[in-house]
Structures are given as C-alpha cells and as structure tokens.
Chains A and B, each alone.
Chain A
Amino acid sequence: MRIMFRNFRVYFVIGMMIFSGIVIFGWHTSRAASTATVSATVTATNLAVSVSDGSIAFGSVALNTATTTAGNSDTQVVTNDGSNAALNVKSGNATGGTTWTLGTSPGSNIFKLEVSTTTGSTYMTLQATDTYLTASSSMTSLLTQNLDFRFTTPTGSTDFVQKSLTITVQVTSL
C-alpha cells in the first residue's frame, strides 16, 4: 500500500508537469517555420580526349592510290573524356626523306588525307597542313567515336622511303 501511494505521488507529479507544460506553452503555439525553395542547375565542363590505339600503319601503297583504315583494322577509337564537345582532326605533312605535303588532291609529293566517322561510308577531306577539320560537331560526354582515315599517295614521289605523319584529335567547347 505504501509503495502504491508512493507511485501515485510520482505519477501525480509527472502528470502535473505534463499538464502544466501544455497549459503554459501548448495554447500559445505559433506557426513555427516556413520554407521556400530555390532550384539551381549547373553543368561542369571539361575538355579531354583520348585515342586508342593511336597508331596507323598504312603499309606500302602504290603511287596515286587510296588506302583506308576502314578495311585494315586500324580504325581509331576516340573517347570524349570530358563534357560534350566538338571533335576536330588535323594532320601534319608526311616526313621522312622528301616530305609529302598535305593537299586536297594528290600530286607530286602531295598526299591527300580524309577522315570518316561512318566507317568509311563518307569521308571529309583535310584541307591543309595542320588545319583542323570538324569531324563531329557534337560528341557526347564520355562516349567514343570511331575515326577512319583514307590516305591517298602522291602521284609522284621523289623518294620511296617510309613516311610518318602526325594526326591530332582535338575536342572543343560547344
């Protein structure tokens, strides 16, 4: 009985505290907070490109003859490692012995180089030495693009040593 009475007193005190809290504070509540939102968007940009495997061997080609990577397993795979971008390509002259100059039509010591993004179905001709040609106007971020190159040897050559040329792939902002 003594324990019951003690428990009653404890419950009474706790009850009174809760009740008084409601009385004192509960009836004076306010609409405590309000929020509003702002929606923001942002897109990171980064220009990065890589090529695999980065090496083409056209082999021995007769004068004034075209040869393409589309048929010799040297198709180059370009990866856009950054944000959406335009893909550009340029080429230097072919060096080694007497230089072959890049031109839009083959000639004496003049070679022609074309690029294709359609596995050889269509080609675009590089216009001049070290002058970029837009191969793709919108290359999606983190995706790859196959590039094939068609090389046409000069109509005449001062020598017949192996020639080397450097093809540069570039991505630029849209």
Chain B
Amino acid sequence: MGRVCRKLGQFILIWGLLIGWIFSGWPQIWNFPSKVEKAQAAVETFTTAGTFTNGWTAPANVYSVTAETWGGGGGSGGGTSTSLPGGSGGGGGAYVSKAISVIPGNSYTYVVGAAGLKDGGTAGGNSSFTGDASVQSLACGGTSGAINGGTAGAGGTTACSDGTTEFAGGAGAAGAGTSGGGGGESAGTTATGGDASGTTGGTGTNGTDGSAGQLVGVNGAAGNNPGAGAGGSGRRSGASELGASGGVGQVKLTYTAITAALTGTVTASITEADIVTGGKTIILTVTGDTWVAAGATFDAQRQNIINGIDSAQTEGTGWDAEVKAKEVVGAVVRTSDTVVTITLTAQAGYNITATETITATIPATALVAGNAIVATPTFDITAAAVYSVFITSGGNIAFGSVPLNTATTTASNGYTQTAQNDGNATVKFSVKATNATDGTSWTLDTNPGSDIYKMEISTTSGATYMTLPAPDTYLVASSSVAVGNVVDLDFRLTTPSASSDYQQKSITITVQAVAP
C-alpha cells in the first residue's frame, strides 16, 4: 500500500512540475498558435440623388476604396395622342467599378445620379465618386424616352463613363401600337444591361430590370433603383397618359481597413528579465495587405521593421538603446504573406527602472500597398522591482553632550532624518543601529545600564517611539511607503546610567527599504 502511495505521489509531483514548467513561459515548449484575423470588408451604399461634396470620409487605416457607380435611369414618354403609340421607354444607367486611392481621414465627394425625367426630359444623372488626384469612378445615366412612340431612351454608355470595369445600360424600346415601350435594364456588375423589347423591360443580367411598357390608358411605369429605365405609358385614352421617371443612380463603396495585429509571447506580461534572457516573440499579422515578397525584397526591410518597434520611454539602457539598436535582422522572419515573426535575441544590457510601452509600426516599405500601419495592441515590459531608500536630510545626527542616564531626541534638536522611497515599488522602511563605538563601547539594549544605551525611533515627530531591541536588529518603522513618498524619522537616545569613559561615541543607524 505504501509503495502504491509513493508511486502515486511521484507521479503527481512529476506531472505537476512539468505543467508548471510549461506554463511558466520559459523555456517555451508549448507554442499556442497565434490568432489570425481575416480582413472584414466594409460596404457603404448611397442611394439618395444629389451631389455630396466631401460627403464621405475615409476611415482609419483605409487607403483604397472600390467605388461602384450606377447612372440614373432614363424617364419614359407619355401618350398624348389617341392615334399614336404609347410613350417610349427610358434607357438604363451604366455601371462602373474602380479602385481608388484615398487617405484615412480625408473627405471625398460623391454624386448619386438623379432619375431621368419623363417625356424626353433630362437624362438620368451620372453617378460618381472622386478620390485622390481627382481619380473617379463615373457611370453615366440613360436618356429618357420620347412621347407617343418617339425616340426610345438609350442606355448610359461606357464611352461617357470612367472606370476600370464598365458596362453600358440597356436601351429602352419605342412605344408601338397602343402600348408603351419597356425601359432598359441598368447595367449589371458583370454585363451590359439588357435592352427592352416591345413592352418588356430590359432584363437578363444582374442589373436592375427595366419597367414594362404600359397598355392603352395607363401611365408610364417608373424605373426601379438603381438606374433602370422607366416603361412608357400606353396610348392616350381620355386625358393624356403620363410618362414616368427613371430609377435613381447609386454609389457603393467597398473598402477594407489595413490592420496589423501584434501577438506573440511578448504580450504575456513580460518583464525586464525576459528581454535579458531573450526568446520572446513578436508576431505581426497584417490584414488587408501583405508583406513584400519573400527573399531579397523582404530581407531588405527587416532592419526597417526592427526600427519601427519603438519604446515610449527613453531610458539609457531601455528598449530603444538595447533592443531596437542591437537586434539582429536574422531575428525577423517572414512566416507567411501576412505574418512576420520576430524572436528577440538576449540583450544582457537591458535594464530599466520603469515599465516600458512598446509600439510596433510596420514601415510602408515592408508592405505591398505601401502604407505604414501601427500594429495593435502595444505591449509592456515591466521593470524589476527596485527597492531603494535615500536619506534626504544629510544623514548625520549630533546628539551632543548628554548627561548619563538622560534621553535626548532629534525631534527637538533639528536632526530629524527624512527617508525617501526612491525606488519604483512600494516598500517598508526598517531601522537598525549598531553599538556605540569609540572608547569603551556602549551596547544597544532596551534599557540603559552601565555602558548600555537605549535607542528609540519615531515616525510621529516624537509623539510615540519604538525601541530598537538589540544591536543590528531591524525594527519596522513604516510598513508601507509608496514610491516617492518620504518618512520623517526621529531618534531618541538614552545615555547609559554609567560609562567607562566619556569619549564621543559613534553609532551607525541603517535604514532599509524592502518589499512590504
């Protein structure tokens, strides 16, 4: 039974130690995969006709936008004659797509083309988005169909438009017989809009279908949004039949913010010692962009990447001086098109007194799109706790000549000592004193006697005292002193009841700062 218990105990101990090792962070033998986030495209669609000067502001980290525009659809004609055909259909608006450079924070103008007016009136308006350097995505509107079977509206043309991908809108059909002509289909994103045929509105692509031509005595049918041509009215029957407006154009902006995530073991509450030891990793994962090509192109950027990892602090032996300036380019590895891993080299000279905050800015030259990006989050390096005390009051006490068996205190002689916590962590102050030397020594004790003196300490300006118990034995004077705070220390010395000599005695009082 004992043997089984012993074996079980060993088993638990060994596995406990191994697990502790794994999670202690050094040396790392368990590398959790970093979380890689996919870029999430944002889409904004504008459908209200009009000109919006500086109406759109590029969000942070957005350097390029795909602007899709649809021109307004043409209006349709009406029927004003009882003997002529119905009104003709309007043409569909064109479609354009174009990637346009923008600058985060800058504002840009877009135009949503108005619906074409009826009865051969104004054509559908052009839709556009204008980015940097006046580069634009412009899709033209379709023209409006005439009354009484006159000229049908034409689709917005690619010749008029300006973009990378361009498709023309479908043509409207002329009114015929007693019916109006159908409206043209707006251009699709992948094909030209379908032409209307007779009363049938244009269709067949992924554009917006044109409205149908109407029968005798029926007003024209408005074009659908975005950008479809209106259907013509039927022949007049009684009062004139009215034409209709085309569809309103549209502007659609699609963009992806370029971001960079900073992960790796540096984000796990690292300390000064971790940098000294080395081995911590910084993983930079970009989304919406990629690192420049592997090989010589990327290698040439490794130093720039190191230079971009910067401390908010400026200690002489801090990050900038000991890591940024000394890290070797071999530490920077292009793990994939979107991931770079930096394994920090040991930096023995790294020594900080306060927490450093490190920010990684990926240089523009290291990314394909050529835009610098700040990785998030930052990470902190915690300084080792420094417990330090400084006597700001000179560090000397002259009690002077004191009769035997008499107490004298610094609280009343101007020799109050001030101890300051000049470290970087909260401390406690303890005090000890030596025997009094020179001539025959006086021994420190809790009561005066022959060649025995007593020393007390006060942190209350002499209101209360604590007695030092023995030579070179610390007594806690103040249990918690915040960084930068001071404590006034007064000392009360009681001379021996008898002394073998009357020489001046020297005593060394030590104030110690340690962890509370």
* C-alpha spacing A41/B399, complex, angstroms: 6
Indicate whether A41 sits within 8 Å of B397 (C-beta atoms), given known contacts A33-B513, A36-B510. yes
The yes or no answer to B26 lying at the interface (CB within 8 A) is yes
Among A20-28, A49-57, A91-99, A122-130, the one that faces the other chain is A20-28
The yes or no answer to B164 lying at the interface (CB within 8 A) is no
Indicate whether A37 sits within 8 Å of B20 (C-beta atoms), given known contacts A27-B273, A43-B402, A84-B502. no
> B514 near A33 (CB under 8 angstroms)?
yes
The yes or no answer to B398 lying at the interface (CB within 8 A) is yes
The yes or no answer to B507 lying at the interface (CB within 8 A) is yes
Whole-angstrom distance between the Cβ of B400 and the nearest chain A Cβ: 7
Q: Which residues of B contact A24 (CB under 8 A)?
A: 20, 24
The yes or no answer to A31 lying at the interface (CB within 8 A) is yes
Q: Which residues of A contact B408 (CB under 8 A)?
A: 42
A-B contact count (CB 8 A): 159
Select one of B17, B386, B402, B511 contacting A37, CB under 8 A. Answer: B511
* C-alpha spacing A23/B17, complex, angstroms: 11
> B389 near A36 (CB under 8 angstroms)?
yes
Q: Which residues of A contact B507 (CB under 8 A)?
A: 39-42
Q: Which residues of A contact B401 (CB under 8 A)?
A: 43-45, 83, 173
Select one of A36, A43, A82, A173 contacting B503, CB under 8 A. Answer: A43
Among B117-125, B325-333, B354-362, B491-499, the one that faces the other chain is B491-499
Select one of A12, A39, A42, A142 contacting B508, CB under 8 A. Answer: A39
Interface string of B453-494 (1 = CB under 8 A from A): 100000000000000000000000000000000000101010
Select one of B502, B505, B515 contacting A83, CB under 8 A. Answer: B502
Q: Which residues of B contact A45 (CB under 8 A)?
A: 401-404, 502
The closest CB in chain A to the CB of B277 belongs to A27
> A39 near B501 (CB under 8 angstroms)?
no
> A39 near B493 (CB under 8 angstroms)?
no
The yes or no answer to B298 lying at the interface (CB within 8 A) is no
Whole-angstrom distance between the Cβ of B13 and the nearest chain A Cβ: 6
> B388 near A34 (CB under 8 angstroms)?
yes
* C-alpha spacing A42/B395, complex, angstroms: 15
The yes or no answer to A121 lying at the interface (CB within 8 A) is no
Whole-angstrom distance between the Cβ of B32 and the nearest chain A Cβ: 18
* C-alpha spacing A35/B395, complex, angstroms: 12
Q: Which residues of A contact B504 (CB under 8 A)?
A: 41-43
The yes or no answer to A73 lying at the interface (CB within 8 A) is no
* C-alpha spacing A13/B11, complex, angstroms: 10
Q: Which residues of A contact B489 (CB under 8 A)?
A: 38
Main SS of chain A's interface residues? mixed
> B510 near A141 (CB under 8 angstroms)?
no
* C-alpha spacing A142/B496, complex, angstroms: 17
> B396 near A16 (CB under 8 angstroms)?
no
Indicate whether A38 sits within 8 Å of B395 (C-beta atoms), given known contacts A44-B402, A142-B501. yes
Q: Which residues of A contact B18 (CB under 8 A)?
A: 16
The yes or no answer to B258 lying at the interface (CB within 8 A) is no
The yes or no answer to A163 lying at the interface (CB within 8 A) is no
Select one of A35, A41, A82, A142 contacting B512, CB under 8 A. Answer: A35
* C-alpha spacing A19/B514, complex, angstroms: 26
> A34 near B506 (CB under 8 angstroms)?
no
> A30 near B495 (CB under 8 angstroms)?
no
* C-alpha spacing A32/B427, complex, angstroms: 10
Indicate whether A46 sits within 8 Å of B403 (C-beta atoms), given known contacts A24-B20, A28-B271, A41-B505. yes
The yes or no answer to A62 lying at the interface (CB within 8 A) is no
> A20 near B17 (CB under 8 angstroms)?
yes
Most buried by B among A16, A17, A38, A142: A38
The yes or no answer to B21 lying at the interface (CB within 8 A) is yes
The yes or no answer to A60 lying at the interface (CB within 8 A) is no
Q: Which residues of B contact A38 (CB under 8 A)?
A: 391, 395-397, 417, 489, 491, 508-511
Whole-angstrom distance between the Cβ of B354 and the nearest chain A Cβ: 13
Indicate whether A35 sits within 8 Å of B499 (C-beta atoms), given known contacts A40-B491, A42-B493. no
* C-alpha spacing A71/B153, complex, angstroms: 155
- Given contacts A27-B274, A28-B273, A44-B502, list 10 more A-B pairs with CB under 8 A: A9-B10, A16-B14, A32-B515, A37-B391, A39-B507, A40-B491, A40-B508, A43-B504, A44-B505, A46-B404
Residues of B within 8 A of A (CB): 10, 13-14, 17-18, 20-21, 24, 26-27, 271, 273-274, 277, 384-391, 395-404, 408, 417, 419, 423, 425, 433, 436, 453, 489, 491, 493, 495-496, 499, 501-515
Cross-chain pairs A/B with CB under 8 angstroms, 30 sampled = A23-B26, A23-B27, A27-B274, A29-B273, A30-B384, A30-B385, A30-B387, A32-B514, A32-B515, A33-B512, A34-B387, A34-B512, A35-B389, A35-B510, A35-B511, A36-B419, A37-B508, A38-B396, A38-B491, A38-B509, A39-B507, A39-B508, A39-B509, A40-B491, A40-B493, A41-B507, A44-B402, A44-B496, A44-B499, A173-B401
